[in-house]
Structure 1
Amino acid sequence: MKPTRNRAQGRLIILRLIISLAVLVLSGRLWQLQMVDGETYRVLADQNRFREVDVAAPRGVIYDRNGQILARNQPSFTVVVVPADLPEDRVDQEPGAVTAAVIDRLLELLARPQDAAPVQPTPTPAAISQSDAALGGPAVPIMAIPDRQPWIRPRAEIEQAIQDGQLGGAYRPVTVATHIKAPTAFLVAEDAVNLPGVELVLEPIRDYPSGALTSHIIGYMGHVPESELAAYTARGYSQNDQVGLTGLEATYEEELHGKDGLQTIEVDVNGRKIRTVGEPEPASPGNNLMLTLDLNLQRAATEALQDALDGSQGFTKATQGVVVALNPRDGAVLALVSLPSYDNNLFAKGVTTEAWHALTSDPDRPLFNHAIGGVYPPGSIFKIIVAAAGLQENVLTTRTRLGDGFDGNNDGIIWLPNESYPWDRTKDQAFYSWIHKYGYGHGFVTIRDALAVSDDIFFYQLGGGYLDKFHGLGSEAIGYYAREFGLGQTTGIELPGESRGLVPDPKWKRLNWAENWLTGDTYNMSIGQGFVLATPLQMANATAAVANRGFVYQPQLVDHVTDAEGNVVRTFEPILIREAPVDPDNLDTVREGMYGAVNWPNGTAPRAQLPGIAVAGKTGTAEYFRDEDNDNQADRDEKGNLPTHAWFTAFAPYVDPEIVVTVFIANGGEGSTAAVPVAARILQTYFQLDVPAQTAETPTAPGD
């Protein structure tokens, strides 16, 4: 028995030694975990329990001069999955089974049908959005395009993104769906207990209440362009941030963007927020823009211009037009309309393929701002610059009489000798005045009358001279004054995409056409034809310089900037580009001629007359080349006439001008009949006149 007892005692000792060793190992391990690595594990535990999350800064709001909202923020729901918060599979489950179940449940909720998405009109070719109609504006949808539907990531991409996240960056959210409807968002929120690791994120997106009325001014936002990602990253942006891409949204990105905040939150086992820990770093909202724009005037200008397009009787139906209204005292932009337009709300959630195709395939280019980017021959409204130049250069006086009749005929035609064969009068080239089609000319007139009746022959002679009868300005002087009034260069308005236009000269023609400059080129240039090109904004600014007696201001859309509390943080003073080198007395003569165009018996713009308000203006009808049948010949109507753009530029009141209005209608016909009534309606709105302005039925003299 004794050997058996000894063996049992030996085994017991060994067991005690093993137990003691195990306790020693466990104690050592416990000591290591608590004393040596305790701080490390506490940090890891806190990382699971506490998280730092960004607090998005609200983007600044944009207002018109009267406080009406033009751009604001509205909530949008996004669904994300945090890979680290997804539950682990049980031992008896296939790998990934729990994650698959969560994804299945989430996609089932997202796929449940909701109310049909509202339909928004696409601006093709000149529609005004439904958001404009809500503000009292017109709604003229041409075709309907569905609103952006919620985007849901394909299942395979969700699973791959989660797997990638679990390998690194497990706390980085994986976007599953964006722009989901509120009812769907509520379903996801209510079923949170069955969706561990799924979060509902409220993100702001841009909303444009004025829609197509102001889209060319306000612009729209989108993701950071790949080509500019490095520059934006250096400024603190992330790849997924939204930035202004066009319009004021782009120009004033730094002012509007704001600075994101930061907060530490405690989460439960499913990754859901329990509470905020510590003092959060609040987000700094972006600053607000207060514009010089008058939304009511913008609406009136849009309606008047759209009515003119709809009723146009030009070469073919007009589909493009511009209105620019400025304050000549400081360059403030009161209205800036480019038709056709587009609804920038289409871009707020990411433009659909259908909408993008409709916008980019439209031949009238609704995305293009014709007011600042379109360049056109200015026609007879350019004569105000030539007249000012002629007076300042002492080429003529207020008593000088030029025009039709040097050849003994008052027929609206002037014959210019061929420069290669000046002795052979059979080779003379005819230059016509617009009134020639009525069978007579204007005869000899002074500069005031020439402006009032828009006498082309007078300005041919003023610009290019005529035989030995009169020595004209010449192309160099005309070009100099055109540039001094702001043509051939950008105005500096706070919008991207502005064109410089073209003020040609002999060198330009040699380089681009390999031809010499001829007197005929100067004749054409003198009436705003030939190679001269200008934007409607440039011509409005030149008119403002005449109205204010020589001050060329930079057009401005932003009056001041405020912070979120309404405190003014930045003001914009008028920017004087230059003083035009023309004496005020000479500009007064030009102004008198413009007054005559509206108010004298033979003026070309009597439809611009307003009761109690003295209006001065200048009409223009600019021929242009078009070859739509691709026969390498200029298109002409049945009477042999070239297509024409309609122009009218005006200011009022005459004595102390408050507003300049420039109207351009591409392919609109004559300025006196197409553009003048548009300006009259706009001025009537501005001066709050109850009595209608002159209508199209008002008897008038023939006009340019």
Structure 2
Amino acid sequence: MKPVYHDEPIQNVRRETVRLFVLRGVLVLVFFILVVRLWQLQFIEGERYRLQAAGNRLRIETIPAPRGVVYDREGHILVRNEATFDVLIVPGAVPEESVDRVLTTVASVVGVPLTNQIALAQASATQPADAVLPLDPQCGEPGLKECFEAGALYAPYRPIVVKKDVDERVAFQLKQDAAFLPGVMVESRARRHYLYGPLFSHILGFVLPVNETFLAQASASDNYELNDEAGMSGIEASLERELRGKKGVRLVEKDVIGREVRVLEQTPPEPGHNVFLTIDMDLQRYATEALRKGMEAVNSPRGAVVAIDPRDGQVLALVSLPSYDNNVFVGGISQSAYEQLLNDPRTPMLNMAVSAYGFPPGSIFKLVTAAAALQEGVITRETRLDAPGIIYLPNKYDPDNKELAQPFYDWLRSGHGRVNVIDALARSSDVFFYKVAGGFPGEIEGLGIEKLAQYAELFGLGQPTRIDLPGESAGLVPTPDWKRRTWGETWTTGDTYNMAIGQGFLTTTPLQMVNVTAAVANGGTLYRPQLVYQIQDADGNVVQGFMPDVIRNIPVDPQHLETVREGMLAVVQRSDGTAHYAGLPTSVAIAGKTGTAEYCEPLPDLSDCKRDEEGNLVTHAWFVAFAPYDNPEIALVVFVHGNGRDVLEGSKVAAPIAADILRYWFEIRPKQAEGAPLPVATPAVETGPAETTDEVVQTLLPPLQPSNLSATRPFHGQLVQTLPNQAELSVLRGTVRDVSGRPVANARILLTPEESDTPATYLMTDANGTFYYDFLSPSISSVWRVAAPDIPGAPELTLRVEPSQQYVVEFTN
């Protein structure tokens, strides 16, 4: 029997040996992989991770640049920057065990709702729950806790804006307690302050924080960041590049909870340029009040006044009523407040002088018709035409059938007799201009629509004037081709008749019509109306100066424009002129033209247009003028929108408003020397947000430079008298005079509400030592403090302000 050998132990040994060999190989491979990965991390990717680590400790932050200051032509500040404070929280920098304590403390100190439930409970009855705004648009929650949780989840190191524009005392308290409030930051920034609010809102516009849509449309070179502010309207928008400045940069070291340890490197920001406008603040104020009174007298909802210098196109005043307070947009406006402005039927945000949809100009357009007819030889200054109260235009297909003839009426139903062009302008004869433009069988061939439209465009109608404001309307100069494409109808002689007197399809803006008037006044030069006189850098160096910009020289012979000017002079000076009894000042020769423009305001059921008691269409009131006649220095337009109920005549409504404005310019206001250059004020240099209110005032206000103050005899102040005021807001008037009775110029006057430590605005005395403020609001505060901080020993006056009052004060030693 052979022996049996068992080879299983040997096989097991071999198997274990193989396993051990494989295990060792795996360990060697893993070790090799670790060594390779360590080498990769250390030598290949080491620099990237070192940069990431440094990025957690070192941060590059931008420093906002102060926006430029805007002045009027005399150097009065219209908009400036003020220091304000924002409270922010970085969710990722708040330790988990401190979250409840930090959020509760911040909500209590800052005054924001801790939770969504509290936010909804605090909403007023007029503010529905879905209208409650979030603390920060990025988190979308009104409660601090929910906003914090959302931020911690999606962007833990992006700061959450808890509240903007907090009180200075709150900001200092949070800064003082910073060691106990990890992740909480208080940032100072500059905030726009429009010193005169509604008075200049349509000119200055406003700034708003930029959003995602704005960033997507902006150029990368503009370097905008979310929540940066940018001009969205007015000069703020059109001169955004000049005003915004250039951001600074700083390299900051921060600790693990996000607190700033030190600033390693910093490049300071470059302040925006300062802008000097051509606007005369006093004329703007006076024109606004004159227009407001005129509108209230006829219950008009809207109106506009524009005054320009016909010698170079400088805009002296630009008024649109109703207006709005552009300060409500500072820092962002609530959706409900914005919708309230947009839905206001009076359209306060629409610039009636520039951006409105256009209005029929009525008889002020006869200036264009007259100039065109004279230049084309259709008439001469001696040509006389019959101007009865009504004419009948024969039917072109059956001219002998009088029943088919179309009647065209003159505003004066008794007619004007035989008149020439000067008579026709003075009396505003409609029939004369019907015939001149469209012709009349057996009497005159007429200018024709093609030539009439051509000259309207030469005078700048149907196209923007390119003023320094966004959103300008072009108006409309209709043509046969336009009517065929728009209405599918043929142009008729009746359409030409209507356009000849500024009716029908023709629409214009007040700015365009004052430009027409200026071109007639200066002999045919059509200037681009300009609002900007000069741009300076923060050091006072002129970056850009004013240069007149000629659009074109209108091809109308000087003698023909002189004939038109004579007609405008007759409007005012002749006893049969339509503006002779409008109360225009007689101390200077004024040339003008009235306009009463019919328009259709549909009835609620759209069955007809609104009419007055006699069945006439309701009208707008216009008046244009220039003065002095021999050497014009101002051209003016007044537009009063119809009230939807009455016929508003230019001679009775618009011309008296112009009379008040021109009386101020030539009789009340000290007349400027002919050709005197604009004074160039030294700008207030702004270096950035200050830390205290006193520093803000000292930084933002120009230094006082009185030349005749007595340091030995202190000033005293007093309320001299209180007078009634027609406007709802109250007025402050005052003077500052030295011991000898001489006026003190360039003295600052601060106006501060009783419950505030921060001045609401400041005034500067003029060359006569006077100051004036007509937006003194009792609704803001019933008690106001009036101080002259740089006048030696001048006391602080306290005024108890009531509506519709004038307060006259005096500082003197």
* Fold similarity call, TM over 0.5: yes
1:519 positional shift: 1.2
2:380 equivalent to 1:383: no
Residues 624, 642 of structure 1: 8 Å contact kept: yes
1:435 is paired with a residue of what secondary structure?
coil
Distance in 1, Cα, partners of 2:632 & 2:134: 50
The farther-off stretch of 520-529 and 626-635 is 626-635
Partner residue of 2:241?
254
Q: TM-score, normalised by structure 2?
A: 0.70
Which shows bigger deviation, 232-241 or 483-492? 232-241
Q: What pairs with 1:316-395 in structure 2 (closer than 5 Å)?
A: 317-374=299-356, 375-395=358-378
Which sits farther off after the overlay, 74-83 or 580-589? Answer: 74-83
Distance 1:112 1:82 in 2: 17
**Residues in 2 aligned to 1:676 and 1:246: alpha-carbon distance in whole angstroms:** 31
Alignment of 1:277 onto 2:264: yes
Q: Using a 3 Å threshold, how does the CA distance of structure 1 residues 112 and 459 change in structure 2: closer, same or farther?
A: closer
CA contact (8 A) 1:371 1:536 kept: yes
1:65 pairs with one of 66, 70, 73: 73
Given that residues 153 and 177 in structure 1 are in contact (C-alpha distance below 8 angstroms), is that contact kept between their aligned partners in structure 2?
no
* Letter aligned with residue 201 of structure 2: S
Question: What is aligned with 2:703?
Answer: none
In the other structure, the counterpart of 1:104 is 104
What secondary structure is seen at the aligned counterpart in 2 of 1:370? Answer: coil
CA contact (8 A) 2:426 2:577 kept: yes
Q: Report if aligned partners of 1:78, 1:201 keep a CA contact under 8 Å in 2.
A: yes
For residue 769 of structure 2, what is the aligned residue in structure 1? none
Contact 2:107 2:144 in 1 (8 A): no
String of CA shifts for 1:69-91, please: whole Å, max 9, x gaps: 2222122221112345434xxxx
Q: Provide, for residues 138-157 of structure 1, a one-character-per-residue CA deviation record: whole Å limited to 9, x for no partner.
A: xxxxxxxxxx9987753112
Deviation at 1:174, TM superposition (A): 2.9
Cα deviation, 1:463-521, whole Å, max 9, x if unaligned, reads 11111111111111111110000001111112111111111111111222222211111
Structure 1 position 674 matched with structure 2 position 653: yes
Task: Choose which of 390, 396, 406 in structure 1 pairs with 2:379.
Answer: 396
Residue in 1 aligned with 2:152? 162
Question: Given the alignment of the two structures, is residue 639 of structure 1 paired with residue 614 of structure 2, yes or no?
Answer: yes
For 1:394 and 1:229, the matched residues in 2 are separated by 57
Alpha carbons of structure 1 residues 253 and 295: separation in structure 2 relative to 1, 3 Å: same
Assess, with a 3 A threshold, how the Cα gap between structure 1 residues 259 and 603 changes in structure 2: closer, same or farther. Answer: same
Cα displacement (A) at 1:262: 1.4
> Is the deviation greater in 661-670 or in 41-50?
41-50
Q: Which residue of 2 aligns with 1:683?
A: 662
Relative to 1, partners in 2 of residues 1:156 and 1:577: Cα closer, same or farther, differing over 3 Å?
Answer: same
How far apart, CA to CA, are the structure 1 residues paired with 2:406 and 2:48?
95
3-state DSSP of counterpart to 2:354: helix
Aligned residue for 2:304, secondary structure, equals strand
CA distance in structure 2 between the partners assigned to 1:608 and 1:328 by the alignment: 23
**Native 8 Å contact 2:211 2:227 kept in 1:** no
Q: Which residue of the partner structure matches residue 628 of structure 2?
A: 653
Distance 2:341 2:112 in 1: 31
Shift of 1:271: 4.2
Greater RCO (CA < 8 Å, at least 6 residues apart): 1
**Is 1:175 aligned to residue 158 of structure 2?**
no
Preserved CA contact (<8 Å) 1:205 1:349: yes
Residues 193 and 286 from structure 1, CA distance in 2 versus in 1: closer, same or farther, beyond 3 angstroms? same
- Displacement after TM superposition at 1:659 (Å): 0.6
Q: Mapping of 1:193-592 within 5 angstroms?
A: 193-232=179-218, 234-235=220-221, 236-267=223-254, 271-278=258-265, 280-312=266-298, 317-374=299-356, 375-404=358-387, 410=388, 412-436=389-413, 440-592=414-566
Corresponding residue for residue 21 of structure 1: none
CA separation of 1:600 and 1:200: change in aligned 2, threshold 3 A: same
Structure with more of its chain in helix, by fraction: 1
The SS at the match of 2:626 is strand
Gap runs ≥5 in structure 1: 1-31, 88-95, 114-147, 405-409, 692-704
> Counterpart in 2 of 1:609?
584
- Tell me the distance in 1 between the aligned counterparts of 2:55 and 2:434: 82
Check the 8 A contact 2:254/2:260 in 1, yes or no.
yes
Whether the aligned pair in 1 keeps the contact of 2:584 and 2:662 (CA below 8 Å) is no
1: CA distance between counterparts of 2:622 and 2:501? 13
SS of the residue 1:259 aligns to: coil
Question: What is aligned with 2:602?
Answer: 627
Contact 1:503-1:533 within 8 A present in 2 as well? yes
Structure 2 alignment gaps of length 5 or more:
1-38, 114-132, 137-141, 671-813
Quote the Cα distance in structure 1 between the aligned partners of 2:58 and 2:215.
Answer: 31
Q: Distance in 2 between matches of 1:273 and 1:239?
A: 22
Q: Shift of residue 559 of structure 1?
A: 1.1
8 A contact 1:403–1:455 mirrored in 2: no
Kindly tell me the number of residue pairs found equivalent between the two proteins: 600
User: Structure 1, residues 565-607: CA drift from partner, whole Å, max 9, x if none?
Assistant: 1110112311111011100110000000000101111111122
Equivalents in 1 of 2:80, 2:272: separation in Å? 11
Cα distance change on mapping 1:617 and 1:225 into 2, 3 Å: farther
The alpha carbon displacement at 1:687 in A equals 2.1
For 2:167 and 2:574, the matched residues in 1 are separated by: 62
Instruction: Decide whether the 8 Å contact of 1:81 with 1:174 is kept in 2.
Output: yes
Q: 2:91·2:148 contact (CA, 8 Å) conserved in 1?
A: no
Query: Equivalents in 2 of 1:241, 1:463: separation in Å?
Result: 55
Does structure 2 conserve the Cα–Cα contact (< 8 Å) formed by 1:158 and 1:176?
Answer: no
The amino acid that maps onto 1:527 is I
Q: CA deviation at 1:268?
A: 5.7
CA RMSD of aligned residues (A): 2.6
Distance 2:398 2:49 in 1: 100
The secondary structure found in structure 1 opposite 2:218 is helix
Rounded Cα–Cα distance in structure 1 between residues aligned with 2:55 and 2:579: 76
Q: Is the 8 A contact 2:135 2:147 kept in 1?
A: no
Say which SS state the counterpart of residue 516 (structure 2) adopts.
helix
CA distance in 2, matches of 1:546, 1:38: 77
CA distance in 1, matches of 2:258, 2:275: 39
**Under a length normalisation based on structure 1, what TM-score does the superposition of the two structures give?**
0.81
> Residue type of the partner of 1:370?
M
Are the structure 2 counterparts of residues 659 and 520 from structure 1 closer, same or farther at C-alpha, using a change threshold of 3 Å?
A: same
What is the CA-CA distance between 1:672 and the residue it aligns to?
0.1
Q: Using the alignment, how far apart are the partners of 2:612 and 2:112 within structure 1?
A: 58
Q: Indicate yes or no: 2:160 matched with 1:184.
A: no
**SS of 2:395's equivalent?**
coil
Partners of 1:595 and 1:41 lie apart in 2 by 83
% identical equivalent positions:
48
Cα 1:522–1:85 shift into 2, 3 Å:
same
Q: Select between 669-678 and 353-362 the one with higher mean Cα deviation.
A: 353-362
Checking the alignment, whether the CA contact within 8 Å between 1:150 and 1:179 is kept in structure 2 is no
CA distance in 1 between counterparts of 2:625 and 2:110 reads 57
